[in-house]
């Protein structure tokens, strides 16, 4: 799909769920060094356990990702 149809998506989760969510994202998005995917700790002083994944996806990819991560309790999406 053309890059012009991709949007920035953010997924926030607990640290122990990072690899689960990253695995799902990797199933639907070809993660390469030039795509700008970012995985990091949120840096919130009151909740240092929260991490985020920022990636670019089209609507179809995003729907597929959301369907697979909806059962992970710590996940929040923007």
Tell me the whole-structure pTM to 2 decimals. Answer: 0.86
Confidence at residue 9, expressed as pLDDT on a 0 to 100 scale? 94
What backbone phi and psi angles, to 5 degrees, belong to 74? -80, -5
Confidence at residue 35, expressed as pLDDT on a 0 to 100 scale? 66
Query: Where does the chain show beta strands of DSSP type E?
Result: 7-14, 38-41, 50-57, 76-77
The pLDDT profile of the chain, 78 residues, written as one tens digit per residue, is 456 788 999 999 999 999 999 999 999 987 776 666 889 999 999 988 999 999 989 999 999 999 999 999 999 987
Confidence at residue 15, expressed as pLDDT on a 0 to 100 scale? 96
């Amino acid at each position: 799909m053309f890059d012009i149809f991709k949007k920035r998506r953010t997924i926030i989760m607990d640290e122990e769920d990072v690899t689960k969510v990253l695995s799902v994202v990797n199933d639907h998005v070809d993660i390469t060094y030039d795509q700008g995917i970012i995985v990091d700790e949120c840096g919130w002083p009151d909740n240092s356990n929260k991490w985020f994944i920022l990636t670019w996806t089209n609507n179809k990819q995003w729907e597929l990702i959301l369907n697979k991560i909806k059962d992970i309790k710590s996940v929040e999406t923007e």
